Amino acid sequence: MSEENPRDAVPSLNFIEEIIEEDLHKGKYKTILTRFPPEPNGYLHIGHAKAICLNFGLGLKYGGKTNLRFDDTNPVTEETEYVDSIKDDIRWLGFTWAEELYTSDYFDTLYGYAVNLINKGLAYVDDSTSEDIAAMKGTPTEPGRDNQYRSRSVEENLRLFTEMKAGKFKDGEKVLRAKIDMAHTNMLMRDPILYRIKHAHHHRSGDKWCIYPMYDFAHGQSDSIENITHSICTLEFIPHRELYDWLIEKLEIFPSHQYEFARLNMTYTVMSKRKLLQLVNEGHVTGWDDPRMPTLSAFRRKGYTPESIRTFCDKIGVAKRENFIDLSLLEFCLREDLNQKALRVMAVLDPVKLIIDNFDAGLTEELVSENGPDESLGKRTLQFGKELWIEREDFMEEPAKKWFRLAPGSMVRLKSAYIITCESFVKNEAGQVTEIHCTYIPESRSGSDTSGIHVKGTIHWVSAAHAVTAEVRLYDRLFTVENPLGEEGDFKDSINPNSLQIINDAVVEPSLKHALAENRYQFIRKGYFCLDKDSTADKLVFNRTVTLKDAWAKEVKKN
RNA sequence: UGGGUUAUGGUGUAAAGGUAGCACAACAGAUUUUGAUUCUGUUUGUCUAGGUUCGAAUCCUAGUAACCCAACCA
């Protein structure tokens, strides 16, 4: 190729990167500062990962920085437990914040801003009930109306606001509102509430305050205090931008700018913190880190790698259009990563006994197997004997079309061991297969096969004499439908009743006795697994991270 | 019946008036001591109707659809 295709030469930018590059190019900023601003009232989910990767990624890409700022202006829903989990999740994803900040640290400054606004005649204390405020606000199609409190004097407003701060009033008795325009087409500009009274203990400021700023009078101001250049949030905040800019202008403070992108939606799950909290509180899952949840702590426990989530966030892109991402894309990113990292081991989830009739009963043969396709993963020794456990589903009494596993008379290879021929099988009264008898071909030993025989199927196995019992937890999607919110009725009606299957007596190869929590394993032919935190020295517990792609399952489905 | 935002294959996302590309998914085949991985190939798209232009996903006009806004939540 002598000529370069300009399409390949220029990597495409998302719309926020375009804005930043233009700002930098024009010299509007020398460097950028972004922020990730979670409210500590729940655990972070995969949707937050998109925002984290965006904000931190931009900081990294353009040589700027990113702050972590807890948006803690509502003491009744916020807790330190959430602060800690959020920090853990961000670190796990692999990002480092420049500064750890709290909106609550700005309460004094914010109070001063409010006084400033009152002095300018741009804010007033309103005695109305919340019902009255709502009634006077109008609707999207009808303008709101001014009330009697709107015309209070600056002096009176100052006095009342001071008294609000001093705790002279009960919750809900008074609020401070901006004086903008009750007939504005943007509902948020109809004299938005700036401060409300809440006699509540705050997780950081304790009992110092009984008035707390609203989101609109905290977020943009915090951005400004920190000199955030690009304040990135999700689409539903678009109408807030007008107010964001108005307040910055009237307060005459550093002009941060807000840009909005579309939040992540994904099939077979829900992404709202409120709904996730509901699933936790109502016991549909065991907690925020239940591996069926879309939270980062759940993905981590389930065995997802941070790299796979970052790749995913990179692949889904950033735009302003509503999106609905296939879960399969996330799983693709995961498998791609795990395929390189996972140690291959053998585990039988649904064991049935296989007896090799022509193998010495007392003998244990040691075989060497690779730990994975990449040589750097090393090798290990396997024990092989007369009696083995194999997967029940790898034997078919009456083989289906294109079946190339075990069946009466058929040959398969035992992974890393020998080729065997199925001679007979035994059933109990219930009609269940209890024993499969085979003969092995001594010359077919893995690595030194001189038999010249080629078989189509290879199956995994565990020596019965050396097997270790383990609990294995198989997870499936939490909901049975792609969009639980799109269904009639409650989203919880679509919960998958089979989202968790616990296998108590799986048998795994003995090397797994020393399984490490930080390792990823591929149970050959069954999927990727990791050690669960419930695992103990006496009892191994594994989580299935994700299945392998299964072409045979598709084949079966077709017929 | 107000204001705002967005429309490109099944799902995402590029193309800044000049070849509609990439990824996932789906399908077909090759390889395979994991029915995995890997490799090859195929199907499917510019919301609609007009207009400008040699040429329109892109510009203009008029529609249509989806989403957001009436919390003392963020």
Q: What is the DSSP string of A123-183?
A: EEEE---HHHHHHHT--SSS-----GGGG--HHHHHHHHHHHHHT-S-TTS-EEEE-S-TT
Residue A1 lies in a domain: no
A15 strand B contact, CB < 7 Å: yes
Residue A59 lies in a domain: yes
A315 strand B contact, CB < 7 Å: yes
Note whether A89 and A223 are same-domain residues. yes
The pLDDT of A13-40, averaged and rounded, is 97
DSSP SS3 for A196:
strand
Note whether A84 and A142 are same-domain residues. no
Note whether A226 and A99 are same-domain residues. yes
Is residue A5 over pLDDT 90?
no
Residue A543: per-residue pLDDT: 98
Residue A323 lies in a domain: yes
- Measure, in angstroms, how far nucleotide B42 C1' is from residue A555 CA: 19
Note whether A453 and A311 are same-domain residues. no
Find the domain containing A491 and state its range.
Answer: 273-343+470-558
Tell me, yes or no, if A35 is annotated catalytic. no
Confidence of residue A10 (pLDDT cuts 50, 70, 90): low
CATH number of the domain where residue A41 is located: 3.40.50.620
Beta carbons of A446 and A420 less than 8 angstroms apart: no
Mean pLDDT for all residues in chain A: 96
Beta carbons of A38 and A56 less than 8 angstroms apart: no
CATH number of the domain where residue A444 is located: 2.40.240.10
Residue A148 lies in a domain: yes
Options A204, A263, A353, A380, the catalytic residue: A263
Options A39, A387, A423, A482, the catalytic residue: A39
A262 strand B contact, CB < 7 Å: yes
- Measure, in angstroms, how far nucleotide B33 C1' is from residue A292 CA: 34
The pLDDT of A323-329, averaged and rounded, is 98
Note whether A366 and A395 are same-domain residues. yes
A11 strand B contact, CB < 7 Å: no
Report the complex ipTM: 0.97
Is residue A463 over pLDDT 50?
yes
CATH number of the domain where residue A196 is located: 3.90.800.10
A13 strand B contact, CB < 7 Å: yes
Residue A16 lies in a domain: yes
A357 token code pair: 């009739």
- Measure, in angstroms, how far nucleotide B56 C1' is from residue A6 CA: 21
Residue A465 lies in a domain: no
The CA distance from A151 to A185, in Å, is 22
Q: Give the Å distances, CA to CA, from A184 to A148, A241, A250, A507.
A: 18, 14, 17, 68
Residue A3: per-residue pLDDT: 36
Amino acid identity of residue A69, one-letter, is R
Note whether A384 and A486 are same-domain residues. no
Note whether A286 and A382 are same-domain residues. no
Is residue A26 over pLDDT 70?
yes
Beta-carbon neighbour count of residue A539 at 10 Å?
11
Beta carbons of A388 and A461 less than 8 angstroms apart: yes
- Among protein residues, the one whose C-alpha sits closest to the C1' atom of B13 is A317
**End residue of a domain, out of A397, A428, A460:** A460
Residues in Cβ contact with A114 at an 8 Å cutoff, skipping those fewer than 6 apart: A123, A161, A176, A194, A195, A213, A217
Beta-carbon neighbour count of residue A436 at 10 Å?
25
Q: Percentage of chain A surpassing pLDDT 70?
A: 98
Tell me, yes or no, if A150 is annotated catalytic. no
In chain B, which nucleotides are within 7 Å of a protein Cβ? Answer: 1-8, 10-16, 19, 21, 23-27, 33-38, 66-74
Residue A338 lies in a domain: yes
Note whether A191 and A235 are same-domain residues. no
Note whether A332 and A354 are same-domain residues. no
Residue A11: per-residue pLDDT: 73
A344 strand B contact, CB < 7 Å: yes
**End residue of a domain, out of A251, A266, A281:** A266
Beta-carbon neighbour count of residue A357 at 10 Å?
12
Note whether A162 and A223 are same-domain residues. no
Closest to A257 measured CA to CA, from A271, A276, A272, A237: A237
The CA distance from A348 to A460, in Å, is 8
- Residues A100-127: pLDDT tens digits? 999 999 999 999 999 999 999 999 999 9
DSSP H/E element including A328: helix A327-341
Q: Percentage of chain A surpassing pLDDT 90?
A: 96
- Measure, in angstroms, how far nucleotide B41 C1' is from residue A552 CA: 21
Strands across the sheet with A100-102, in order? A33-36, A65-70, A100-102
A139 strand B contact, CB < 7 Å: yes
Residue A559: per-residue pLDDT: 76
Closest to A33 measured CA to CA, from A58, A66, A76, A4: A66
**End residue of a domain, out of A171, A194, A214:** A214
Residue A238: per-residue pLDDT: 97
- Residues A361-403: pLDDT tens digits? 999 999 999 999 888 899 999 999 999 999 999 999 999 999 9
The CA distance from A551 to A525, in Å, is 11
- Residues A222-241: pLDDT tens digits? 999 999 999 999 999 999 99
Note whether A173 and A33 are same-domain residues. no
Confidence of residue A558 (pLDDT cuts 50, 70, 90): confident
Beta carbons of A251 and A120 less than 8 angstroms apart: no
pTM: 0.96
Beta bridge partners of A195: A176, A213
Confidence of residue A6 (pLDDT cuts 50, 70, 90): very low
Residue A345: per-residue pLDDT: 98
Tell me, yes or no, if A263 is annotated catalytic. yes
The CA distance from A328 to A316, in Å, is 12
The tally of domains found in chain A comes to 4
- Residues A132-178: pLDDT tens digits? 999 999 999 999 999 999 999 999 999 999 999 999 999 999 999 99
- Residues A287-305: pLDDT tens digits? 999 999 999 999 999 999 9
The pLDDT of A323-342, averaged and rounded, is 98
Note whether A102 and A228 are same-domain residues. yes
A133 strand B contact, CB < 7 Å: yes
Is residue A8 over pLDDT 80?
no
A438 strand B contact, CB < 7 Å: no
Beta-carbon neighbour count of residue A181 at 10 Å?
14
The CA distance from A351 to A464, in Å, is 10
- Measure, in angstroms, how far nucleotide B34 C1' is from residue A408 CA: 22
Residue A80 lies in a domain: yes
